[in-house]
Amino acid sequence: MRTKGIMIGVTRLAACLCALVVVSSTVPKVWSLGGEAHAGPARVDERRTKAPTKKQMGPRRLSSTRRPEIKAQGPQAAPVERIEADVSTRSVEVTTAFTGHEILVFGSIDNNQQPGDGSDYYNIVVVVEGAPEPTVVRRKSDVGGLWINTLSVIFASVPSYYAIASKRPIDEIAGPNVLDKHAIGFAHIKMTLEPSYQWGFGEEALAAFKAAVIRLKRQEGLYIMEAKDGVTFIGRSLFRSTIALPANVPVGPLVARVFLFRDGEVISAHIARVTLERTGLERLLHSFAFRYPFFYGIFAVLLAVLSGLLASAYFRRAVR
pLDDT at 23: 41
pLDDT at 233: 87
Residuewise pLDDT in 10s, the chain (320 residues):
444 455 555 556 555 554 444 444 444 444 333 444 444 444 444 444 455 554 445 555 444 445 445 454 555 666 788 999 999 999 998 888 888 999 999 999 998 887 765 567 889 999 999 999 999 888 888 787 888 878 888 898 999 999 999 988 899 999 999 999 999 999 999 988 888 776 667 778 888 889 999 999 999 999 999 877 889 888 888 999 999 999 999 999 999 999 999 889 999 999 999 999 888 777 788 787 888 888 888 988 998 999 988 888 888 887 76
DSSP letters for 92-120: EEE-TT---EEEEEEEEEET---SSTT-S
Strands 223-226 and 162-166: parallel
What angle in degrees, to the nearest 10, is found between the helix axes of 293-319 and 280-291? 120
Q: How many CB atoms lie within 10 A of CB 153?
A: 22
In one letter, which amino acid is 144? G
Measure the CA–CA gap between 307 and 320, rounded to whole angstroms. Answer: 21
Q: What 8-state DSSP symbol labels residue 79?
A: P
**Tally of residues, the chain:** 320
Whole-prediction pTM: 0.66
Cα-Cα-Cα-Cα torsion 62, 68, 69, 71, nearest 10 degrees, comes to 150
Dihedral-angle region of residue 235 (phi above 0 means left; psi in -120 to 50 means alpha; beta otherwise): left
Contact in structure between 292 and 166 (CB atoms under 8 Å): no
Sketch the domain layout of the chain as residue ranges: 82-130+158-278
pLDDT tens-place string over residues 185-206 = 999 999 888 887 766 677 788 8
Strands 146-159 and 30-33: unpaired
Contact in structure between 27 and 39 (CB atoms under 8 Å): no
Strands 162-166 and 123-130: antiparallel
Contact in structure between 204 and 64 (CB atoms under 8 Å): no
| 3-state secondary structure (DSSP) of residue 11 | helix
Of residues 125, 160, 156, the one with CA closest to residue 256: 125
State the CATH class of domain 82-130+158-278.
mainly beta
Kind and range of the H or E run holding 230: none
Measure the CA–CA gap between 57 and 39, rounded to whole angstroms. Answer: 34
Kind and range of the H or E run holding 64: none
Measure the CA–CA gap between 140 and 138, rounded to whole angstroms. Answer: 7
